[in-house]
Amino acid sequence: MAKRNGVDRQASGVILLGGGLDSGALLYWLKASGAWIEALWIDYGQKAAFGESVAVGGLCYGLNVPVHRATIDLGDLSQCALLRGQRTNSKNASRKNKLEARNVVFVGLAAMLASSLGLPRVYVGFHQEPAAAPFPDATEDARWMMNELLNFICRPAVSLVAPFKDLSRQEILEAGLKLNPNLASDTFTCYESTTDAECGQCAHCQRKARMLKRVKARTGPECAPPEAHSKRDLLRRRKLAQKQPSV
């Protein structure tokens, strides 16, 4: 790959950053690879917008990554439980969290930004997902089709790249922890909380706790990452987020 001033231009791109574990780990991985990366975070009317926004600000400030923020209120278009104004998904039914075609919209916005910045790639934190998964818009088949479309409609072409597509969520977490031991507390996985503290109850919070427990079981408590957002973590993230202006 061509490098100028230590930056890999061909691998440079826009990352769709939600502030969670997968895209957070990907951000660290991309920065370690030497690519120039800019981030796009989208407030689409999700309950967790504040917590995500604080996490994204902190992650990007720490890595010197410019953040672009877009707002599109989807509250009128769906009854998805992720959205503000919708009931708590107390039984954690995945169908209630499904916002149809979400990734098509988000990838389209990221491609728009990548084109305007002259960057050749859009990066997403998709992980290994069977075709019968409840969220088919994050599968490898969907990535391939969206990549074909972006190559066709963007000039110059934009590619959609998912470096973690063959990894499980657990493997992504473990790769991310090697790059940032504080990844668990620097990210925001929750979808029900309207503050910058995770609720600890929703399906995503429960899954994060299970994954961290597995890491702890293998590494021992001394090397284990922080499990939850301590008050100190929260204050640190808020401080970092305030320093990170949007582009």
Residues near Zn ion (CB under 5 A) are 190, 192, 198-199, 202, 205
| Smallest separation (angstroms) from Zn ion to the CB of 6 | 39
Closest CA to 198 of 230, 241, 229: 229
Place of tokens 């401080």: 239
For residues 82 and 199, which CB has a smaller minimum distance to Zn ion in the complex? 199
| Smallest separation (angstroms) from Zn ion to the CB of 89 | 10
| Smallest separation (angstroms) from Zn ion to the CB of 88 | 10
| Smallest separation (angstroms) from Zn ion to the CB of 122 | 27
For residues 20 and 163, which CB has a smaller minimum distance to Zn ion in the complex? 20
Place of tokens 């604080």: 54
For residues 89 and 115, which CB has a smaller minimum distance to Zn ion in the complex? 89
| Smallest separation (angstroms) from Zn ion to the CB of 213 | 16
> Would you state the structure tokens that stand for residue 19, as one six-digit string?
């502030």
For residues 102 and 229, which CB has a smaller minimum distance to Zn ion in the complex? 229
- The residue number with the shortest CB distance to Zn ion is 190
For residues 35 and 190, which CB has a smaller minimum distance to Zn ion in the complex? 190
E strand segments, 18-158: 35-43, 67-71, 121-123
For 105, other C-beta atoms within 10 Å of its C-beta total 17
How would you classify residue 175: left for phi > 0, otherwise alpha for psi between -120 and 50, otherwise beta? Answer: alpha
Q: How many helices (H) and strands (E) does the chain have?
A: 8, 6
